[in-house]
Chains A and B, each alone.
Chain A
């Protein structure tokens, strides 16, 4: 179908063709793998023989030993939350009031958290949490050269990269390393679950997106019982093939993970009252999945819009009420199953808002704003860091951050999930950020010596019209590299020998020795009982 097209391509210059090919490789590989990666749990039949599950990687073993059942819920405040009207700097109420004479909270409308900061009275549900030592506030979180576009700034927060365009997210990168054989052997439970924020990068990896989208778990039950699983390996070429792949695998996932999620959901109940509001509905589902023993460690829920350019007092109030009431319900619910200590909630938002109000009873896009953390695991209440100076502004009249959001990420990864520094480096793109004292620690967990946990780096590389598989060997090891076509048929062994440390590059076509037609293929490396797979494109 796709090969015999009569579409006449103009002769492009060599440079242009290279761009074309690489970009073709980008989108085609990405969507193909995205689709393939969504494949449900268990093993795909490759060549009619069930592929055995690989033994856990050294990394995942180390993590499994160190991890308890700790969970994080990311609460995305979409649109840019006005921090100044959330955590009000009453230490300089006069300046605050001057900046926003119309939309400020009156002093009588505020509840003190301490002598310097207060929350609006309507967030009273949080007052109890604060009092019980289950809430912390990180002041002034942002990044240098604040970008004022919702979409670009959300990408920055999700990808943890502010100076380059990074198409993967911080959790996506983590899961990519945790599951090196994900394409063939995805885990039995979804690595992450997200409600809302479709398209957000947080869980996006190079190979696939690692989150499962849920809005209504009850829908999934009937689907799990009478669906048809589709063949993911019998697929045509080109964009149509990509889309068909995507549709088939989403369909499959809907059947496969559906059963697992539905089981957890049906295995538990809500033991607290939630309102009918947006965040409450989402968190009540999350609570059931956690209490039902699903096993997923990271959730993301979405509340918005916080983009209050006008009519801020009423709109902001409704959202913050939902936030505070829901968090109280959520932790009460978890407490009924004695799981409250294991769950940390963290708010994120793409930016704060302008310190001064605009003429429409609202505020425009800002920069630094607070990150709120919740859970008894915080071991006390408190403010972390320094509040930004109310009157010192950047070139766009916005508050200057005193903490980088990646410091928050880093501190959570280090002290909540207790990950190894080398792993955290991978997640945060090899940049270091000052650690924050959030009150969380790994003391309650057994002290495991991670030793040298290195990850094996391998990828397809395209140059000079040829395709190479590049592997970076850190130790001497025997490897077995096989190539499979899209029908699941094993085409041959590209390498089967002991390799010494260093970068090795294997020309795919040359190593195979036979003709390869245009299309997508999977390669799989076996090393030390561990499997690693990725897909590549032959042109």
Chain B
């Protein structure tokens, strides 16, 4: 935890906001300065826990028969919900962050089921449990309509078993590949999960009926019985509760703290975290608080080590600048994020986005640059150019020193001061643009000049191409 040697400062607060949320404005960051680090973390976790899920839209529980013009309406609702989720992620701090995280853990791919009501219901389940009880989460997400379709639970019957969900439940959602389960466990589990194959109308709630349930004896993790769905979850946690917690805590650590895990970290941080999770009967709030208050989280070595996702890149930028955006701009954000490999609601496969360095290759990187350039140029050309200079003025107390302005703006967006100091000079040259040097020397130039918005545009585009800008 921050102390005299490792002080509590703006850099640490930004670190918290970038990891726990999608960053924050300077004003929001300043508000946290007088708090103690522990208080601050608690307040963020508690606020996220208390936040009710996003209200259901009118169509949230519709069945097919409730639509008037299904094709058009379904597409429109899905579009609307994309925007809603984008806004939620960006504005809900830790709850938005965790919703995004869990949707990449309990993966479904919208393009497989493509049905707005099921999308809302899945999203609602994730939001509801994001800081709740993990065991309940596992139970509820498996019978979410979207999941039943995505991993073929809906087709898994006593006469025709389908192994898909059983496998991914263990391999990806709770234990990890090959960790404590066998192919037999998978087969027996898929038998126990049968029965959720019924709906009263197309696109309605999928429910359980014993007629398609395999009522026979199953042997799962060495336990024999006429197991059903809830039994599977109970047995899993009963026999492998600690393993599940270790698996989840490792994921949380890698996502929130650092992608690099070694034996010491497992011993010092992850195993105690897993113990806490077991001791609290799988509640997530105590685990999250312990993780975010751990020595590692605030250590200098944890800062700047996570490569931003496309969402991080653009949502973080918007929060840090409070620049204008509306629905069509949010739509562009989501569209470009998709081009860069993060299509909202559509991870590439059931293992989710692998993140970290896999976000970045020569193609996705140029995509990020293009999106940033597009957004900033849009603001410049559509009547928001003064908000660009307003930001520079606010952060620098209306300085007219181009080097100082450049340095403050750069440092506002990167996790650590640039390692190669001459990079600030390069950025300053770009910021100075074509304005002759004498106007800087004699103090005539300032941020109210008509050229200033364009200069800020050039600088922001340049910052967006800095390697450091992709780190948080």
Contact = CB atoms under 8 A, between A and B. Distances in A.
B365 A250 contact: yes
A251 B471 contact: no
Interface stretch (B18-26, B158-166, B378-386, B397-405): B158-166
B77 to A, nearest CB: 23
A335 interface: no
B363 A360 contact: no
Interface stretch (B121-129, B296-304, B449-457): B296-304
A392 interface: no
Nearest to B468: A244
Given A6-B3, A238-B301, A254-B362, A247 B177 contact: no
Interface string A194-235: 000011000000000000111110011001000110110011
Contacts of A396: 183
A236 B305 CA distance: 12
Interface in A339-386: 358-360, 362, 364-365
Contacts of A250: 360-362, 365, 467
Given A257-B362, A309-B162, A251 B467 contact: yes
A45 interface: no
Interface string A276-294: 0000000000000000000
Contacts of B264: 9-10, 12, 16-17, 20
A228 B363 contact: no
Interface stretch (A148-156, A263-271, A461-469, A526-534): A148-156
B155 A358 contact: yes
B152 A360 contact: yes
Nearest to A223: B366
Q: Which of A214, A239, A362 has the most CB of B within 10 A?
A: A239
Given A310-B155, A359-B159, A251 B365 contact: yes
B357 A31 contact: yes
Contact of A247 (B159, B171, B260, B467): B467
Nearest to B6: A6
A239 B305 contact: yes
A236 B160 contact: no
B465 interface: yes
Contact of B362 (A7, A27, A212): A212
B349 interface: yes
Interface in B383-412: none
Contacts of B304: 240, 243-244
A14 interface: no
A198 B349 contact: no
A228 B468 CA distance: 14
B183 A148 contact: yes
B260 A364 contact: no
A445 interface: no
Nearest to A358: B162
Contacts of B152: 309-310, 360, 362
Given A199-B358, A239-B258, A250-B362, A360 B160 contact: yes
Contacts of A23: 262-263
A228 B465 CA distance: 9
Contacts of A8: 295
A28 to B, nearest CB: 8
A10 B160 CA distance: 54
Interface in B404-452: 416, 419-420, 426
Interface residues of A, number: 68
B162 to A, nearest CB: 5
Contacts of B189: none
Contact of A6 (B5, B360, B364, B366): B5
Nearest to B354: A199
B351 interface: yes
B260 A1 contact: no
Nearest to A216: B363
Contact of A19 (B183, B259, B263, B363): B263
Nearest to A19: B263
Nearest to A31: B357
Contact of A243 (B167, B183, B305): B305
B301 A258 contact: no
A248 B300 contact: no
A152 B162 CA distance: 21
B367 interface: yes
B470 interface: yes
A512 to B, nearest CB: 25
Contacts of B361: 198, 213, 250
A219 B262 contact: no
Contacts of B159: 359
A434 to B, nearest CB: 29
Interface string B210-227: 000000000000000000
A214 B416 CA distance: 30
Contacts of B369: 223
Contacts of B370: 219
A24 B301 CA distance: 14
A258 B159 CA distance: 55
Contacts of B259: 239
Interface string B237-266: 000000000000000000000111011100
B299 A220 contact: no
B161 A359 contact: yes
B209 interface: no
Contacts of B171: 149
B5 A20 contact: no
A152 B171 CA distance: 11
Given A5-B301, A364-B163, A396-B183, A247 B157 contact: no
A317 to B, nearest CB: 17
Contact of A10 (B156, B268, B302): B268
Interface in B309-357: 341, 349, 351, 354, 357
A396 B182 CA distance: 12
**Most B CB atoms within 10 A — which of A28, A148, A258, A359?**
A359
A253 interface: yes
B307 interface: yes
Nearest to A254: B362
A407 B365 CA distance: 38
A305 interface: yes
A274 interface: no
B262 A20 contact: yes
B267 interface: yes
A212 B6 CA distance: 40
Given A7-B295, A309-B152, A359-B162, A213 B362 contact: yes
A380 to B, nearest CB: 37
A247 B362 contact: no
B339 to A, nearest CB: 9
A27 B162 contact: no
Contacts of B419: 234-236, 244
B151 to A, nearest CB: 8
Nearest to A219: B366
A1 B416 contact: yes
A373 B259 CA distance: 39
B373 to A, nearest CB: 10
Contacts of B470: 247
Contact of A5 (B156, B167, B299): B299
The 3 closest A-B pairs by CB, nearest first: A359-B160, A360-B155, A247-B467
Interface of A: 1-2, 5-10, 12, 16-17, 19-20, 23-24, 27-28, 31, 34, 79, 148-152, 198-199, 212-216, 219-220, 223, 227-228, 230-231, 234-236, 238-240, 242-244, 246-248, 250-251, 253-254, 257-258, 305, 307, 309-310, 358-360, 362, 364-365, 396
Interface of B: 3, 5-6, 152, 155-157, 159-164, 167, 171, 177-178, 183, 258-260, 262-264, 267-268, 295-296, 299-307, 341, 349, 351, 354, 357-358, 360-367, 369-370, 416, 419-420, 426, 465, 467-468, 470-471
20 contacts: A7-B296, A9-B264, A10-B264, A20-B263, A20-B264, A28-B260, A198-B361, A215-B363, A234-B420, A239-B260, A240-B304, A243-B304, A246-B357, A246-B360, A250-B365, A309-B162, A359-B159, A360-B155, A362-B155, A365-B163
